[in-house]
Amino acid sequence: MQASQEVNEWIDGFLFVANRPILDLLNTKPVLADGPTELLPDVRALERWLIASGIVVSPNAKAVVRSWRHSTKATAFLGQLISFRERLREAVKRIENGSSPTDAFLAEVNLLLLHHPRHTSLQKRDGMVVRETLFEPRKTTDLWAPIIDATADLLAEAEWSRIRKCESCVVHFFDTSKKGSRRWCSMNICGNKLKVAAYQRRKRGDNATTN
């Protein structure tokens, strides 16, 4: 996969083509021109991803996350998150291959859900009562709440047949197309490349037939 900063799927150095933030987390280790590349090498990179992904939104939450740049606890959390990301990757690969996540992984997710629940509140808006998600992290482990909630949502609510890996690279995505026939991470990144390759194969076949 060729990374181009001109492609609008890239935000602040991160790829967002998965239609699910938790799958975008998997894609923070893409294969670029120089091989597999870790896009979350330090806490500052994690801070940028959390903001770019829309997980951290409010000015107060952004300020709190930015205050962790030199925190040893934040560094420890990042290590745990990356380890979880790779276990999630294996679970997603199992789904893509027609299987299901292991009992051990589901147990891990359940434990995290128990210890880091997502908080909500009721608010009045336009004469109606709506339920809003609250996320104002105070400590680094609070970051588990949106991440593990998104993981549970992917595993329990998403149509598994639409969870796929790009046919041309390592990027995972959730297919939201009407026909459910999306094959690549992005038309801009891999789709055009595959279409050109298919055209060239057809052209070679036509030439071979006429010769």
Determine contact, residues 170/15, Cβ cutoff 8 Å: no
Spatial distance between the Cα atoms of 38 and 11, rounded to a whole number of angstroms: 16
Tokens of 139: 């400590």
Global pTM reads 0.84
Spatial distance between the Cα atoms of 23 and 202, rounded to a whole number of angstroms: 34
Q: How does pLDDT run across 107-153, given as a tens digit for each residue?
A: 999 999 999 999 888 999 999 999 988 899 999 999 999 999 999 99
pLDDT of residue 169: 86
Say which range, 63-72, 174-183, 202-211, has the weakest mean pLDDT: 202-211
Q: How does pLDDT run across 166-192, given as a tens digit for each residue?
A: 988 889 999 999 988 888 888 777 855
pLDDT higher than threshold 60 for residue 195: no
CB within 8 A of 22, min separation 6: which ones? 88, 147, 150, 151, 153, 154
